[in-house]
């Protein structure tokens, strides 16, 4: 049952993401869709907002029954908060086409958050961020797992520490005696 729920979560996220990326308002952010499609080898089908909300209702019922695993109180609180935010966002739209790119990314990120809570593997949660390309007004969407974002941040911090050390003048009198 756990594999079925995990497969359904992944398939629905992929389908919703493909629908977001293939709509006319997608605006050149195909990176998010490409990475998601690479993540899953099945051929996705487009899922509308109504069908996706039905899936969320089934997921909610499964979680209430303890599938794919029982959630502790803290996880259940996190699940309810993410579910409520996602449901509120979806309730404002009849179609993916009426969502802005930012809202689509919020839906995707909330879905990934729900999946990580239900499955219990936070390190594999995919988070998408829109960033400005240096020197232009273009925005690019980058999607990575939590652990990949953390590794990138840690590498950048190490690089900054190393470059700051090389810029600092050496103390000519390291013993402190003058």
List the domain range (segments joined by +) for residue 85.
2-126
Nearest in space to 86 (alpha carbons), one of 32, 16, 147:
16
Within-domain flag for 107: yes
Query: Who has greater pLDDT, 10 or 34?
Result: 10
Within-domain flag for 31: yes
Within-domain flag for 85: yes
User: How many CA within 13 A on the CB side of residue 73?
Assistant: 0
User: How many CA within 13 A on the CB side of residue 16?
Assistant: 29
Within-domain flag for 21: yes
In this predicted structure, the answer to whether residue 90 has a pLDDT above a threshold of 90 is: yes
Per the structure, the count of domains in the chain is 1
Within-domain flag for 173: no
Answer for the pair 15, 111: CB distance below 8 angstroms, yes or no. no
Within-domain flag for 155: no
Query: Rounded to whole angstroms, what are the CA distances from 173 to 54, 112, 162?
Result: 71, 55, 22
Within-domain flag for 66: yes
Within-domain flag for 72: yes
Q: Is the pTM here over 0.85, yes or no? A: no
What's the whole-number average pLDDT of the chain? 75
């Amino acid at each position: 049952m756990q594999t079925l729920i995990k497969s359904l979560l992944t398939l629905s996220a992929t389908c919703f993401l493909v629908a977001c990326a293939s709509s006319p308002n997608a605006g050149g952010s195909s990176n998010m869709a490409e990475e998601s499609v690479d993540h899953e080898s099945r051929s996705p089908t487009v899922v509308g907002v109504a069908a996706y909300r039905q899936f969320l209702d089934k997921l909610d019922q499964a979680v209430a029954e303890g599938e794919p695993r029982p959630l502790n109180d803290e996880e259940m609180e996190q699940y309810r908060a993410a579910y409520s935010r996602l449901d509120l966002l979806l309730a404002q739209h009849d179609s993916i086409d009426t969502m802005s790119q930012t809202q689509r990314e919020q839906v995707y990120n909330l879905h990934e958050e729900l999946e990580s809570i239900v499955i219990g593997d936070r390190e594999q949660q995919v988070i998408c961020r829109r960033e400005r390309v240096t020197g232009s007004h273009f925005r690019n969407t980058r999607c990575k797992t939590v652990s990949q974002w953390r590794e990138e941040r840690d590498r950048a911090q190490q690089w900054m520490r190393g470059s700051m050390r090389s810029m600092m003048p050496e103390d000519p009198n390291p013993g402190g005696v003058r």
